[in-house]
Amino acid sequence: MQTELSGKLGIEHAVFGFTPFPAVAAAISRAGGLGVLGAVRYTAPDDLKRDLDWLDAHADGRPYGLDVVMPAKKVEGVTEADVEEMIPQGHRQFVTDTLARYGVPELAEGEASGWRITGWMEQVARTQLDVAFDYPIRLLANALGSPPADVVRRAHDRDVLVAALAGSARHARKHREAGIDIVVAQGYEAGGHTGEIATMVLTPEIVAAVDPLPVLAAGGIGSGPQVAAALSLGAQGVWLGSIWLTTTEADLHSPALVRKLLAAESGDTVRSRALTGKPARQLRTEWTDTWDDPAGPGTLPMPLQGLLVADAVSRIQKYEVEPLLGTPVGQIVGRMTRERSVQAVFDDLTRGFEEAVDRINRIAGRSGQ
């Protein structure tokens, strides 16, 4: 699964694996792909440094990258406390009442939420970059549009390629104008923040829109034939996220959540604003249903919603309140029916890719060539 882009980065397979877990990122790189560590949960620079130290030591010298979330436009002088004050009391009460209805216990006294989405704020992302640029990262990806121009320059000064996710050809063209090196065409099927255009339609549109920039296909991809399909549509690789959640290296800290993921079918996800305020595909739960109910107060815009529900999500996860327990995940969840190692996932991808290419060659009358 070699392409010009994979050759440029020195990876064996054109598979880019996004994950919040350092052990998964390292295993992806060791397996011949490019592990990309999600940084949004690292609000303390020392925590990110600790995990990048570990990742760097366990990637066996293979390349890896970092994914941040930062807006292209900067808002000066806004602190987390300022944002907290914008959250209406009625929404806070709605969260309190919902948790009480399901009997969700409080966190222990003095226990901080482990799920504060302050990484959506630019000043936090910049502290992450201050740490990351001390490491030999090969790729910097941004999940919220093009990063600011000075960040792109800073990355390029260090020979770091910059990628940005796009849900439409219009977004992709803006990335090209901003000097982005790689566009990730993220289809509707993807987990997390996603647009409304399916991967099969979106990928060739973006390939045409930003040519000759390399494009990675994302959304609903988790098998070798799907990788072959993505490359046949003009992509130079695939960007996979959800498929790693049920690998043995992942650290979800929740047996109940793993069981829910393994049991879920492709139709058991929903695009909801319940988690962050922007449409994000995730497991459908009674939590997402409650927020999407027209009788409720409705969700707040990013980053207000993420701050509003941070403690609630931590409590739901800690106590494994199954009706409310969920996670961002794409429609590929229907194929995630058993726990496997990262290497086993790669073995299936490469074997399925070869079988798909052989099948197309037979159809085209090129068998044996």
Please list the pLDDT of the chain residue by residue as tens digits (369 residues): 899 999 999 999 999 999 999 999 999 999 999 999 999 888 889 999 999 999 999 999 999 999 998 865 555 555 667 778 889 999 999 999 999 999 999 988 877 665 555 545 677 888 999 999 999 999 999 987 888 999 999 999 999 999 999 999 999 999 999 999 999 999 999 999 999 999 999 999 999 999 999 999 999 999 999 999 999 999 999 999 999 999 999 998 899 999 999 999 999 999 999 998 989 999 999 999 999 999 999 999 887 898 899 899 999 999 999 999 999 999 999 999 999 999 999 999 999 999 999 999 999 987 654
Distance, CA of 3 to CA of 59 (rounded, Å)? 21
The first and second tokens of residue 132, run together, are 């990351």
Q: Please answer whether residues 233 and 207 qualify as being in contact, where contact means their C-beta atoms are separated by less than 8 angstroms.
A: yes
The pLDDT value recorded for residue 113 is 62
Distance in angstroms between the alpha carbons of the first and the last residue of the chain: 17
The pLDDT value recorded for residue 130 is 95
Q: How far is CA 344 from CA 63, 146, 247, 341, in A?
A: 20, 34, 9, 5
Full-model pTM: 0.92
Task: Name residue, tokens 């959506």.
Answer: 120
The pLDDT value recorded for residue 81 is 73
Distance, CA of 17 to CA of 36 (rounded, Å)? 6
The pLDDT value recorded for residue 276 is 87
